[in-house]
Structures are given as structure tokens and as C-alpha cells.
Amino acid sequence: MSMKVLLVEDDRELRRTLLESLELEGYAVIASGSAADAHAVVRHTMASDAPLDLVILDLGLPDGDGSELLKLIRSQFSLPILIISARHEDDNKVHLLDAGADDYLVKPFSISELLARIRVSLRHRGKAVVAAQRQYTQGALQIDVQKHTVHKAGTPVHLTPTEFKLLARLVRQAGQVVTHRQLLWDVWGPEYVDHTHYLRLYMAQLRSKLEDNPTEPSLLLTEPGVGYRLAD
Ligand code: CA
């Protein structure tokens, strides 16, 4: 059965383009152009025997702010929500991720990027039921969270306990952005959520140990002003 996606976007042209691309990719898409309509669709479908698998949510909607809808959906359901936003709405990104969005894309984005993010979100949700991601392989890098090992081109890499904890947290959501706050909370603890300099320091250490070229990272990616993403 095909995955069911709710697409909330008030820009008619963009909505049509996305709808066509998603359907071409095999998704069953319900398109909506307003917050009120989208909320009605969510309530209706989630109670049906064919619930939604994912929501793609635009922030600037004619009858309200997408972030309100995000909170409303999140308070009732656990399905993945992908935010699509215009650049001037950037300030909101961190807030939205902390509020439970799975990922965000800034317009204009490519269809292939959107499809990749959808796949990552669905995969994480699918796995979350069974277990968090434990293993990660990308290029020459191999990480096994359970065995507590990191190898680069077959050679063991020594990490400090904190470096490993930070890396393991990123592996858990490989391919998705993790906010500064989420990382600081999970690795150092709730009282450290404002200590972003810890992250800069430890990410620099991790990059120097894991990246081929630490100044141009291809694995441990920076999302400016938001957080970090482990390439997937
Ligand atoms: Ca809009």
C-alpha cells in the first residue's frame, strides 16, 4: 500500500508541482491550502483505517501560522511532520524542530531533496518503533553505537566518552537535523542547553578525528543557526 501524505501549501503553483512529483514517486497525496482544512483532514484521516504517514507543512498559510498547526497535530498524533518554509521564516526553524517537527526545508528546494528528506523521516519513524538507529556507515566511516566502536578505513578511532555520546546522538537521527538544544540536552543535560560553545568545541574535535578535510566537513554538517546533521 502506498504511503499517504498530506501536503499543506497555499501557493497553488507549488502545491500542484509538489503534488504531481509526489504522486509520480508513488505517494498517495491529499493536498490542502489552509490550516483549517488541513486540520480537518488530519482529524478525519487519523481516525480512519487509512491514516496519514506524513505531513508536509507550509508555515505561511492564509488562515493561520503553520507552527500552530504543527503543535496541534503534534499534541494528538506522532506522525512525521516536515516543514517547508520561505527564507524570511528562518528564525522559526529551531523553535519548530524543538516543537516536534521532524525536519525542515527552505524554499526553493529541489524535489529530489524533498523526496530524500521524506524517506529519512519515514525510515526513522518506522525504526523508532523497533529500535533507534545503532549503526552508521558512510564512505570510510563505520560507527557501531552498541559495540561502542568507530572505525575509519578499518582503523579504530579513539573518542572520548563525550565525543562518542555526541556522535551517537547524531547517529540516532542520521540524515536529520538535530538542534543545538536537543544535542546539549541529551549529551550534557537540561542545565546545559545554552552552552552552544560546548558543541562548537566538540564538533571541531570530532571533525578532526573523522573527516578527511575537517575544514570542509562532508559527514558532520552544520545547519547554520539551527544545529547539526550527520550526512546520510
Ligand atoms: Ca505559504
With respect to residue 28, please indicate whether it lies within any of the assigned structural domains.
Answer: yes
Quick one: 28 and 102 in the same domain?
A: yes
Q: What confidence score (pLDDT) does residue 85 get?
A: 87
Residues 62/66/68/72 CA torsion (nearest 10 deg): 110
Per-residue pLDDT at 1: 64
C-alpha of residue 222 to centroid of ligand 1, in Å: 26
**What is the distance in A from the centroid of ligand 1 to the CA of 173?**
28
Candidates 174, 176, 190, 151; CA nearest to 226 is 176
One domain for residues 167 and 200: yes
Most trustworthy range by pLDDT among 25-29, 32-36, 123-127? 32-36
84: β partners = 58, 105
Q: Residue 83: its pLDDT value, please?
A: 93
Model-wide pTM > 0.75? no
- Tell me: the pLDDT tens digits for 186-213? 899 888 999 999 999 999 999 999 999 9
- Number of domain units in the chain: 2
pLDDT recorded at residue 90: 60
Which of the listed residues 124, 155, 176 is the one where a domain comes to its end? 124
Å from CA of 77 to ligand 1 middle: 23
For residue range 109-127, list pLDDT tens digits in order: 999 999 999 998 888 876 5
CB 23 within 8 A of CB 29: yes
Is pLDDT above 90 for 97?
Answer: no
Q: Which domain holds residue 16?
A: 4-124
Examine the fold and report which residue of 94, 124, 154 is the final residue of a domain before the chain moves on.
124
CA of 72 to the centre of ligand 1 (A): 18
Confidence of residue 129 (pLDDT cuts 50, 70, 90): very low
Do 83 and 143 fall within a single domain? no
Q: Residue-wise over 110-128: b if at least 16 C-beta within 10 A, else e?
A: eeeebeebbebbbbbeeee
Q: Which residue has the cell 508536509?
A: 56
- From the CA of 22, how far away is ligand 1's center (Å)? 18
Mean of pLDDT values over 27-43: 95
141-197 residue pLDDT tens: 999 988 999 999 999 999 999 999 999 999 988 888 999 998 999 899 888 999 999
Domain-located, residue 129: no
